[in-house]
Amino acid sequence: MNRTVRTTEDVLGLLDRLFPPTEPFWDGFYADRSADRPFFTPAPDENLVSYLDRGLITPGRALDLGCGPGRNALHLAAAGFEVDAVDLSATAVAWAEERAREAGLAAGPRFHRADIFEVELPHARYDLVYDSGCLHHLPPHRRISYLALLDRVLAPGGHFAVTAFAAGAMGSERPDEELYRLGVLEGGLAYSPEELRSLFRELTPLELRPMAAQAPGSALFGLPFLLTALFRRTAAL
């Protein structure tokens, strides 16, 4: 059959196929743990720690999107959150589960090897949805799926935090339509504060800033080419 597009999901799937599959890339990315990649650190994001220290977020149910080897999911669990963490890469999830065992947390995160748009979660709503580096690896059309996911899982009064490549510092700044002509995301998409505010306009922005750089050996993760943002959903839906 040549005429296969009938639903919105058919359109999204068709557009997905214009880009290379991502699961093999991420499995390869996480396979060599000795590689010099700053994201392999066990340290949590400095902005996440700051939100907790300042009482901007408090323990509840947390969903970590694109959790990688679990550094932020483990920090949230240690802080008293009930955590579900999702990643497409089986290699990353296996590493995260290993780290969780080594940490010996009484209530460690539940790790799910799945596409964030297809994962079956144990809870319908979460008080915190945390994304450190997932959004900027999504092709433009999947922002539709991302917003639908947030609308479905973020609890009233809940918080959404995202860390993405910062425009002018890291990532592709090509217009969305040009990315489809190229068929690649050029390593990830850059976002400006204005673009994040616009994308998540149904949420209330609490803080948008560059991630604070951390000195070598720091207990926190921080790279200044990343943009951090914290939003809150209205308490009444």
The model carries a pTM of: 0.96
Q: Name the CATH superfamily, with its identifier, for domain 8-32+41-232.
A: Vaccinia Virus protein VP39 (3.40.50.150)
Q: Which residues pair with 160 in a beta bridge?
A: 129, 231
Structure tokens at 13: 């799937």
- Cβ contacts of 151 within 8 Å, gap of 6 or more: 202
Residue 222 structure tokens: 């921080």
Question: What pLDDT, on the 0 to 100 scale, is given for residue 2?
Answer: 86
Average pLDDT, the chain: 96
CB 40 within 8 A of CB 216: no
What is the model's pLDDT at position 237?
A: 56
Domain residue spans in the chain?
Answer: 8-32+41-232
Burial class of residue 230 (count of CB atoms within 10 Å of its CB; 0-12, 13-18, 19+): buried
pLDDT tens column, 80-135: 999 999 999 999 999 999 999 999 987 889 999 999 999 999 999 999 999 999 99
Query: In order along the chain (237 residues), what is the average pLDDT of each group of 10 residues?
Result: 92 96 95 93 97 98 98 97 98 97 89 97 98 98 98 98 98 98 97 98 98 95 97 86
